[in-house]
Amino acid sequence: MQKYMPLFPLNVVVFPGEKLNLHIFEPRYKQLINDCVESDSTFGIPTYINNGVGLYGTEIKLLNVEKKYETGEMDICTQGMGIFKIIEFDRTAPGKLYAGGKVEEVEDIADEDIVTRVQIQEKLQELYTSLGISNIFLDLPEDFKSYDIAHHLGLNTEQEYTLLQCNSEALRQEMILQHLNQVLPIVAETERLKERVKLNGHFKNLTPPNF
């Protein structure tokens, strides 16, 4: 289903379910938020990537305006909803300062694989332990989704945007597991290198080889 939506391009990837706090200071986006408050409507955050507005983004629900300043600036709390694809983009929506566009909802396929999910959780724990940050390991629900951990994998913006475009949970799980399998040996080798550097220069109690 297509609809026209106010758009707020940002150089971040927002995932469904994610809560995002924003400070609004530009006149065009102050107008956008005020319009959303008045009409109780949502807006979209398409990812600004590679010097342009990407085709994919996330519909955003305004939870509340946390603070209003005398200048009209605002601190707002929002939450990501579903994914959309831009069909037509207007640099300025009709009669507005902000951008807008015709978008269509991207239907998500809930085809998660339980075995893969367990493997991901184990690999993620292994990664955090290797990095020495196991104390902040995520307290994940048993049925966690890829979006719940997407910002905690060490992905760059391009990789997160690729994940956003994928509408199959099973494929997202495969992408995440592949990333973890690739990065874990690198992290482990880096930790071994750090240990070798620490030992360099210390007195070593070595047993000579018997020859």
DSSP for 191-207 reads HHHHHHHHHTTS----P
Give the model's pLDDT for residue 130.
84
Same domain for 101 and 131, yes or no, is no
Alpha carbons 160 and 15: distance in angstroms, whole number: 9
Of 75, 105, 135, which one is at a domain's C-terminal end?
Answer: 105
138 three-state secondary structure: coil
| pTM confidence score | 0.86
What 3-state DSSP class applies to 13? coil
Radius of gyration of the chain (CA): 22
- In this structure, the answer to whether residues 95 and 118 fall within a common structural domain is no
> Which residue among 86, 105, 124 closes a domain?
105
3-state SS assignment for residue 18: coil
Write down which residue in 60, 82, 105 finishes a domain: 105
pLDDT at 89: 97
- Residue 94 shares a structural domain with residue 19: yes
In a domain, 168, yes or no: yes
* Pair (81, 151) in one structural domain: no
* DSSP β-ladder status, 2-7 and 99-105: antiparallel
DSSP secondary structure, 153-187, as one string? S---HHHHHHHHH--BHHHHHHHHHHHHHHHHHHH
Taking the C-alpha atoms of residue 190 and residue 182, their distance in angstroms, rounded to an integer, is 13
Backbone angles phi, psi at 182, to 5 degrees: -80, -40
Helix (H, G, I), strand (E, B) or coil at 6: strand
Does the pLDDT value for residue 203 go beyond 70?
no
**Tell me: the pLDDT tens digits for 149-175?**
999 998 999 999 999 999 999 999 999
Task: Report the SS3 class of residue 208.
Answer: coil
Contact 43, 7 (CB under 8 A): yes
pLDDT given for residue 35 in this prediction: 97
Residue 195 maps to which CATH number? 1.20.58
Domain-located, residue 209: no
DSSP annotation of 36 reads H
* Domain coverage including residue 72: 2-105
Same domain (yes/no): 66, 160: no
Number of domains in the chain: 2
Instruction: Give the pLDDT confidence of 35-67 residue by residue, as tens digits.
Output: 999 999 999 999 999 999 999 999 999 999 999
Contacts of residue 197, Cβ cutoff 8 Å, sequence gap at least 6: none
